[in-house]
Structure 1
Amino acid sequence: MNVESFWELMETCRRQSEGRDARLAWLRDELSRRSQVEIVEFQLRLDQVTRQAFHWDLVAAAERIFGGRCSDDDFDYFGLWMVGLGGEIFERAVLDPDALADAPEVLALAGRSWRDWGEDWPGWELLDYVASEAYGSVTGDPDPCGEAFYAVVRAQRGEHVGSRGLAGERWNVRDEAEATCRLPRLSVMFPLSDDS
């Protein structure tokens, strides 16, 4: 599975059903129909794609959307959520994080308190486990942690994986002048309050 076929699969998943749980179920079923090799390749592509989002400017965009706070875990899950937005939106956001302002899912969050986001929450942790679950289904491995699956993924990945460090330069999303310059639309859509 190359990156193009990964995005095709994610786009098909996106069109299949509403809601992340239904999309995960569809993706799990679809991966379970594929070979073990393809399932591992899906995880490798997912890891490869999400690493593209490891940039301080996207951290700042996530912080802005989250009201000024974004933990490391929140950002990891935010990157997975961005994958769920589709290849076009994801790739535009990697190049220009303020382009997230065009995503309908981001527009739906604007003007609402994060306490009211519910199922619209901009994080999709469970996407990171769907290949492991499919692999367990195909192999009959009952291990809920997927240790055998992740051992195969690590072996396939090898030592050629770049650092999980963030690219670019960290900046303060609370500096309104800089935020307005770097993230003009997201800054308007997600104003920070003094208690954020």
Structure 2
Amino acid sequence: MDEAEFWTLLERSAEETTDPDYRLTWLTHHLSRLSLAHIADFQLNLEAARRPIDTYAMWGAANQILDGLCSSDTFWYFQPWLIGQGQRLWHHVTQNPDNLADLPAVRVLAGRSHDEWADAEWPQWEELAYVAADAYGRATGQSDGLHEALDARGHRAYADPEPNDQPWDSDSLTEIAQRLPRLARLFPRRQYVTP
């Protein structure tokens, strides 16, 4: 499975439904019918799609949307959600994290309290990271089969953000206004003061 096939499969799941759980079911079913090599390729493509968005710049943008409450775990779950928006939108946001302001799934959250967001609206999709492992397990009956297959390929998996750009203070209103002007307007927040 090459990169184009990865995006096609992911986007086909979105054409079936916008419900994240049903998309996972659909993806698991369709992946489990492919060769084991293709299932492993799906995981590799997913991880490759994480790399350009695994940055402090993107983390700051996610932090702005989430009102300063974006931990490392939350950012890790945000990344597959962003990938799940499809290749065109993912690519648009890789150009500039402030372009998240253009995503319909982000705009629908603006002006609403987190308490009002439906579960399916939250900008996180942790489970996408496990869909290839589930499909591999379904196809082979081995719960750790995908991990072993990727190890055999010499793949180093990572399970936490590893940004490679320059960190910045994503709680500073001045920094936010300079780096993320459109997201700052969509998701204004107060200055948090640490003792």
Alignment of 1:21-60 (within 5 A): 21-60=21-60
Q: Deviations over 1:30-79 (max 9, x none)?
A: 10111111001101111111122111110000100110121111001000
Task: State whether structure 2 residue 156 is matched by structure 1 residue 155.
Answer: no
Q: Distance in 1 between matches of 2:43 and 2:137?
A: 13
User: Residues 194, 106 of structure 1: CA spacing in aligned structure 2 closer, same or farther, 3 A cutoff?
Assistant: same
8 Å Cα contact 2:177-2:184 kept in structure 1: yes
Aligned-residue offset at 1:105: 0.5
The aligned residue for residue 140 of structure 1 is: 141
User: Hey, what does 1:113 align to over in structure 2?
Assistant: 113
Shift of the 159–70 alpha-carbon distance from structure 1 to 2, 3 Å rule, reads: closer
Identical amino acids, percent of aligned pairs:
36
For structure 1, which segment, 129-138 or 110-119, has the greater mean C-alpha deviation from structure 2 after superposition? 110-119
For normalisation by structure 2, the TM-score amounts to: 0.91
Superposition misfits of 4+ residues, deviation over 4 angstroms: none
Instruction: Measure, in 2, the Cα distance between the counterparts of 1:157 and 1:105.
Output: 36
**Structure 1: segments with no counterpart, 5+ residues:** none
Q: 2:190, 2:114 → 1: CA distance?
A: 13
- Structure 1 residues 94 and 69, CA gap change in structure 2 (3 angstroms): same
Report the count of equivalent residues.
191
Instruction: Pick closer, same or farther for the CA change 1:153–1:175 going to 2, 3 Å.
Output: same
Matched, 1:177 2:174: yes
Q: Are positions 1:99 and 2:99 aligned together? A: yes
Give the counterpart letter for 2:171 in structure 1: R
| Residue aligned with 1:70, SS | coil
How much does 1:118 deviate? 2.7
More deviation, 152-161/163-172: 152-161
Q: Deviations over 1:111-168 (max 9, x none)?
A: 1112222321110011011111111111123xxxx3222121222243699x963122
Confirm or deny that 1:126 pairs with 2:127. Answer: yes
How far, CA to CA, are the matches of 1:80 and 1:87 in structure 2? 12
* Cα distance in 2 between the residues matched to 1:160 and 1:193: 37
Q: TM-score, normalised by structure 1?
A: 0.90
Partner of 2:5: 5
Q: Distance in 2 between matches of 1:56 and 1:45?
A: 21
Task: State the AA in 2 paired with 1:151.
Answer: E
Query: Does the 8 A contact of 1:101 with 1:107 survive in 2?
Result: yes
* Cα RMSD for the two superposed structures: 2.0
Most deviating of 19-28 and 175-184? 175-184
| Residue 190 (1) aligns with residue 187 (2) | yes
- Structure 2: any 5+ residue segments left out of the alignment? none
Contact 2:53 2:79 in 1 (8 A): yes
Q: Aligned partners of 1:190, 1:157: CA distance in 2, in Å?
A: 42
